[in-house]
Amino acid sequence: MNRASLRIAPPSALPNLPSLCLPPRMVTRPAIFISSVSRDLASARQLVANTLSFLGCEPEWEDNFPTEQGELRAMLRRRMKACQGVIQFVGHSYGAEPPVVDGQFGRVSYTQYEALHARQRGKKVWYLVLDGSFPTDPHDPEPAELRALQGAYRERVQADQHLYHPIASHDALEANVLKFRGELTALRRRGKQWAFTVAAMLLLLVGLGVWQMKSGSEVSEKLTKLEGEMAKLREAVSLFAPVQARVLREEPGTKPDQIEDKVYEALAAQLGVDPKRLRTELPALARKLQEAPGTPLFERANAAYVAKDFAEAERLALLAADEAQRAAPPRTQDAIRAWELAGQAAQERIHYRDALAHLRTCVPRRSSRTASATPPSGHGSSSPSRASSTTTATTGVPVQSASRW
């Protein structure tokens, strides 16, 4: 079907169904973004696109460079948000660059920006480092300054801990992409599972819509209740780690095998849900949120923590903290919450040194926020000892308990 032929029905033509946040793609073929400089690698990019299609993936790339400042980067972010991974050619051409230096990554080309942004968002990036003997399309040489910038980028990629694949010919290029078959198959399976889940939810919503038209206000009330219960379950995912920290802080003598029981009991009481149902449904929902496209980094980190994937929870929490710090203006409170979660995840992994480092990162920021909100002396200001205890008490995992680790 031609994408241009798709049309969205007006709201008046649809039944009054509850809203549902759908993934940007309703296809089971995972979208893979191909990042390359078009001036000398267009034919190589087309070869990779054909190989990806053969492997059951949907290749995406961008050729047009609008002249408006910042427009292309925003468009690239939108296109890449729907992709499950990025394959980048690291050749010898720098390519076009934004008219102003990027605020996050410094002076980079659009091609370099694509991989850097994808990694910042936690997406998989495969690097294909092209040798000097790799056959390229005819093109004019770039200025020495741009060649030097690209050379420095190549060195950073090759020195990075992520794997890269040096390539000298088109045959080697195709062979290297075929090596990704296993990882791409896993992405395709995940996409199918997600599509089937969404399809099932759509069928359920259609049935609920018919039922709503027949039953009127009674069905509307039930749908509202169902949405409320789902919202409470998602809230429980975000509250799980803070509640666990509170239980550990208020009941330090609790045995390890009883801590989780108390956490679920406290969550159930706080949200007004059945504890047995919460314990049964929350881990399953957490696993789905962890893999669902479009889920925010911090919510994915909390979901991984509930699912006991503590290494992934720590990694995602640190990414969320970095994202909050880089925001304009910085979201300091969000960064503090992410560092606290990273500290708890590290503690669960028995990596006490890392846990203490994460918690110490957020404590000074809490202290500075508390100090900035304290009135001047003689106008109701708190004593130093009280300010210190407030900082400790507001940290998710008590700072004083860090000395035990």
Cα separation, 382 vs 264, in Å, equals: 36
Q: How confident is the model at residue 290 (pLDDT cuts 50, 70, 90)?
A: confident
| CA neighbours closer than 13 Å in the CB half-sphere of residue 232 | 19
How far from chain centre, in Å, is Cα 160? 21
Q: Which of 145, 163, 187 is the last residue of a domain?
A: 187
Per-residue pLDDT at 403: 37
Per-residue pLDDT at 374: 47
Question: Average pLDDT over the chain, rounded to whole?
Answer: 77
Tell me, yes or no, whether 163 and 227 share the same domain. Answer: no
Q: Is residue 209 part of a domain?
A: no
DSSP, residue by residue, 207-262: HHHHHHHHHTHHHHHHHHHHHHHHHHHHHHHHHHHHHHHHHHHH-TT--HHHHHHH
Tell me, yes or no, whether 146 and 224 share the same domain. Answer: no
* Of 255 and 164, more confident: 255
Per-residue pLDDT at 53: 87
Sheet of strand 58-60: strand arrangement: 58-60, 31-35, 85-90, 124-130, 164-167
261 sits in the region (left: phi over 0; alpha: psi -120 to 50; else beta) called alpha
Tell me, yes or no, whether 273 and 226 share the same domain. Answer: yes
Q: Which of 139, 165, 187 is the last residue of a domain?
A: 187
Per-residue pLDDT at 359: 84
* Residue pLDDT, tens place only, 99-138: 899 989 999 999 999 999 999 998 889 899 999 899 999 9
Q: Is the pLDDT of residue 54 over 70?
A: yes
Per-residue pLDDT at 7: 37
Q: How confident is the model at residue 405 (pLDDT cuts 50, 70, 90)?
A: very low
pLDDT more than 70, % of the chain:
71
The answer to whether residues 86 and 61 touch, using CB atoms and an 8 Å cutoff, is: no
The answer to whether residues 164 and 157 touch, using CB atoms and an 8 Å cutoff, is: yes
Per-residue pLDDT at 329: 92
Q: Is the pLDDT of residue 16 over 50?
A: no
Strand partners, 165: 128
| Mean pLDDT to the nearest integer, 323-343 | 91
Tokens standing for 233? 């379950």
* Residue pLDDT, tens place only, 185-208: 776 565 555 455 656 677 777 766
Per-residue pLDDT at 213: 67
Tell me, yes or no, whether 297 and 174 share the same domain. Answer: no
Per-residue pLDDT at 90: 92
Q: Is residue 79 part of a domain?
A: yes
Specify the number of domains making up the chain.
Answer: 2
Look up the CATH number of the domain holding residue 161.
3.40.50.10140
Tell me, yes or no, whether 311 and 231 share the same domain. Answer: yes
Q: Is residue 158 part of a domain?
A: yes
Tell me, yes or no, whether 183 and 295 share the same domain. Answer: no
Q: How confident is the model at residue 368 (pLDDT cuts 50, 70, 90)?
A: low
CA proximity to 97, closest of 156, 137, 22, 153: 153
Q: Is residue 10 part of a domain?
A: no
Tell me, yes or no, whether 245 and 175 share the same domain. Answer: no
Q: Is residue 64 part of a domain?
A: yes
Q: From the CB of residue 113, how many other CB atoms can be counted at a distance below 10 Å?
A: 20
Tell me, yes or no, whether 272 and 156 share the same domain. Answer: no
| pTM for the predicted model, two decimal places | 0.42
Per-residue pLDDT at 33: 92
Q: Is the pLDDT of residue 4 over 50?
A: no
Q: Which of 187, 211, 237 is the last residue of a domain?
A: 187
Per-residue pLDDT at 293: 82
| Mean pLDDT to the nearest integer, 287-301 | 87
Tell me, yes or no, whether 257 and 334 share the same domain. Answer: yes
Angle between helical axes of 332-348 and 297-306 (0-180°, round to 10): 20
Per-residue pLDDT at 56: 83
Tell me, yes or no, whether 162 and 234 share the same domain. Answer: no
Q: Is the pLDDT of residue 29 over 60?
A: yes
Domain that holds residue 296: 219-372+385-404
* Residue pLDDT, tens place only, 72-94: 888 888 888 888 889 999 999 99
Cα separation, 132 vs 316, in Å, equals: 36
The answer to whether residues 218 and 207 touch, using CB atoms and an 8 Å cutoff, is: no
DSSP, residue by residue, 38-92: HHHHHHHHHHHHHHHHHTT-EEE------SSTTHHHHHHHHHHHT-SEEEEEE-S
Q: How confident is the model at residue 20 (pLDDT cuts 50, 70, 90)?
A: very low
CA proximity to 19, closest of 234, 301, 231, 271: 231
Q: Is residue 254 part of a domain?
A: yes
The answer to whether residues 338 and 320 touch, using CB atoms and an 8 Å cutoff, is: yes
Tell me, yes or no, whether 116 and 171 share the same domain. Answer: yes
Q: Is the pLDDT of residue 2 over 60?
A: no
Per-residue pLDDT at 226: 67
Tell me, yes or no, whether 182 and 229 share the same domain. Answer: no
How far from chain centre, in Å, is Cα 206? 30
* Of 331 and 395, more confident: 331
Tokens standing for 345? 């995840």
Per-residue pLDDT at 184: 76
Per-residue pLDDT at 311: 93
Q: How confident is the model at residue 218 (pLDDT cuts 50, 70, 90)?
A: low
* Residue pLDDT, tens place only, 377-391: 443 433 333 333 333
* Residue pLDDT, tens place only, 295-328: 899 999 999 999 999 999 999 999 999 999 899 9
| Mean pLDDT to the nearest integer, 258-282 | 87
